[in-house]
Amino acid sequence: MHSIQDANNPQALLTVQHLNIQHAEHMLVDDLNFQLHAGETIALVGESGSGKSISSLALLGLLPSTLKIQGQAWLGQKNLLALKPEQLRQIRGQKIAMIFQEPMTALNPLHRVEKMIGESLLLQGWSKQKTRARIIELLQEVGMTDPEDKLRRYPHELSGGQRQRVMIAMALALDPEILIADEPTTALDVTLQAQILKLLKSLQQSRKMAMILISHDLNLVHRYADQVIVMNKGVVEEQGSVTEIFQHPKQAYTRDLLNHDFGEALHIPAAENLLSLKQVAVKFPVKQGLLNRVKDHLVAVEPLDLQLMQGESIGIVGESGSGKSSLALAISRLIKSDGEIVLLGTDLNRCNEKQLRPLRAEFQIVFQDPFSSLNPRLNVEQSIGEGLGLKKLSAVEISQRIDEALDKVELPVSLRSRYPHELSGGQRQRVALARALVLGPKLLILDEPTSALDRSTQRAIVKLLRRLQQEHQISYLFISHDLHVVKALCQKVLVLRRAQVMEFQGTEQLFLNPQTEYTRQLIQASQYV
């Protein structure tokens, strides 16, 4: 166990002692201790619900008053846990800043980039001119191309990587001594992940800044952290240097977290063709002027061909903006596309909505973030049963179908009355799967279904998908930036970059002999160190 030095140690920027967080009788964090020094990175790792994020939110006084917080967190001579709200406001941003997990929810959708980054500077009494110059400087520092152009943009007009860079710029605006990065790369592809973390590391070194990195991606932790604290249900399982934890883990829980074995993809015998794409292309109109006329088109997917057999799984990989999700939405007929999308002998692109409705049961899409795609006002039973309303079934039959769907995704029937906010990330993803499976589809389109989950939950979801594929001959189009997951589930892989197909071949062959430099980079970026 990593020893805790004297609280008065002048070298320590932050000393946390005996941090306890309690809700009613339930202990959420039990006796967390650590020291953080200038330029050092401490990583908090563990499954969802292990107490990582709430520990860091406690330091900033951002937890609800319903939670009981005990212990000490010394920043210099100040105990953060004993400060009043107005004192904490002086600390936030200036001494300790935080990058939140999901920039789309953390950034104000009504404010432009300039206002969001400049707000804290203006409150410090900076002039508008000086603030603007500092914002441009910060955007350049976080690697934003053409920063002046980005000042007037809203969050929805930025890519995932750009939003993350804006978040970092906001956090750095007041030169904090400590940066808390809560899952800073969750929704990013492997190449962007590497870019963002390299950026954070270089900023940390140039500013002598300390960092608390919260992540379920142990590969990133191994590359970028100095010390590791492994948490499990609020309790510290073990803590020590990166080398100690990764090379000599003492606890079974840690060894399980470090287990990257997702199993192997199934060998699928030749079967009938389920889906054929012929010259399928997606382009979005670019409108300008007062009359909103179409001036140009943005190509999201260049014309491509694809064959998917019954019971087969094809992985679609590539960096953000490569066209993966656009292709998925086109196949689902949620956006327009050119070319032929032939499912079970019917060209979906030639069907009107009325003709399409009965076919929709044959193909279903599961989105990246089930928290956004599940209606917060519907409980599990209502969410899963929603699609069955179109079928002429009795209440007993509907109830039976819901139970069967829950059983398929290995969820207990007791969860029927729960709402999305009462479920863990893994449970929500299983409900989203059950909702798709209840209609008995032959094709599932899965858009980043494991990206926000910890490793053990990811392994469980992949195992479940493999079992469903085997038992029910379901075919998958599996979009992911995690090549380990793709390798464990898919028989073939399609690599996209900037709307173009870079290569399409069998999974095993692709990993052994990638045909393009770009694929080699993707594989390299996802390798475990």
What pLDDT is stored for residue 187 in this prediction? 62
- Measured in residues, the chain has a length of 529
Instruction: Mark whether 224 and 314 lie in a shared domain.
Output: no
Choose the weakest-confidence range: 224-238, 449-463, 470-484.
449-463
Q: Give me Rg for the CA atoms of the chain.
A: 25
pLDDT at 3 over 70: no
Same domain for 54 and 80 = yes
Whether residue 85 sits in one domain with residue 228: yes
Alpha helices in 450-516 (DSSP H): 455-472, 483-489, 507-512
Average confidence (pLDDT) over 259-286 = 86
Residue 101 belongs to a domain:
no
Q: What percent of the chain has pLDDT over 90?
A: 42
Q: Which of 66, 119, 73, 116 shows the shortest CA–CA distance to 96? A: 73
Confidence bin at 506 (pLDDT 50/70/90): very high
Query: What pLDDT score does 33 carry?
Result: 96
Residue 68 lies in a domain: yes
144-174: pLDDT as tens digits:
888 888 898 888 888 777 888 898 888 888 8
pLDDT of residue 105: 72
If asked whether residues 182 and 297 sit together in one domain, one would say: no
Q: Does 255 share its domain with 298?
A: no
Q: Is residue 280 part of a domain?
A: yes
Q: What does the pLDDT read at residue 159?
A: 74
When comparing pLDDT for 5 and 186, which is higher? 186
Q: What is the average pLDDT across 7-36?
A: 86
pLDDT at 420 over 90: no
The CA-atom distances, in angstroms, between 416 and each of 253, 376, 383, 441 are: 30, 14, 9, 22
In this structure, the answer to whether residues 323 and 353 fall within a common structural domain is: yes
Query: Crossing angle of helices 455-472/425-437, nearest 10°?
Result: 20
Is the pLDDT reported for residue 44 higher than 90?
yes
Q: What is the pLDDT of residue 6?
A: 44
Average pLDDT, the chain: 87
Task: Please say if the pLDDT value at position 451 is more than 90.
Answer: no
CA pseudo-torsion sign 24, 28, 33, 36: negative
Confirm whether 196 is domain-assigned. Answer: no
In this prediction, residue 7 carries a pLDDT of 45
More confident site: 191 or 85? 85
Mean pLDDT to the nearest integer, 26-47: 92
pLDDT band at 528; cut points 50, 70, 90: low
Structural domains counted in the chain = 2
Instruction: Please state whether 282 falls in left (phi above 0), alpha (psi between -120 and 50) or beta.
Output: beta
CATH number of the domain where residue 85 is located: 3.40.50.300
| pLDDT (mean) for 296-318 | 91
Per-residue pLDDT, 388 = 85
The SS3 of residue 452 is coil
CB 150 within 8 A of CB 144: yes
Q: Tell whether the model's pLDDT for residue 195 goes beyond 90.
A: no
pLDDT at position 180 is: 93
Please tell me whether residues 468 and 326 are part of one structural domain. yes
Highest mean pLDDT among 140-149, 359-368, 503-512: 503-512
Is residue 108 assigned to a domain?
A: no
When pLDDT is cut at 50, 70 and 90, the band that residue 507 belongs to is: very high
Average of per-residue pLDDT across 412-436: 85
Confidence category of residue 234, pLDDT binned at 50, 70, 90: very high
Q: How far is CA 268 from CA 87, 286, 309, in A?
A: 62, 43, 9
**Contacting residues for 306 by C-beta, under 8 A, at least 6 apart:** 275, 276, 277, 280, 314, 494, 504
pLDDT grade, residue 16 (50/70/90)? very high
pLDDT at 502: 94
Return the half-sphere exposure (C-beta side, CA atoms, 13 A cut-off) of residue 191: 13
306 domain-assigned: yes
Q: Which domain holds residue 245?
A: 1-95+178-187+213-259
Residues 234 and 281 in one domain: no
Domain membership flag for residue 463:
yes
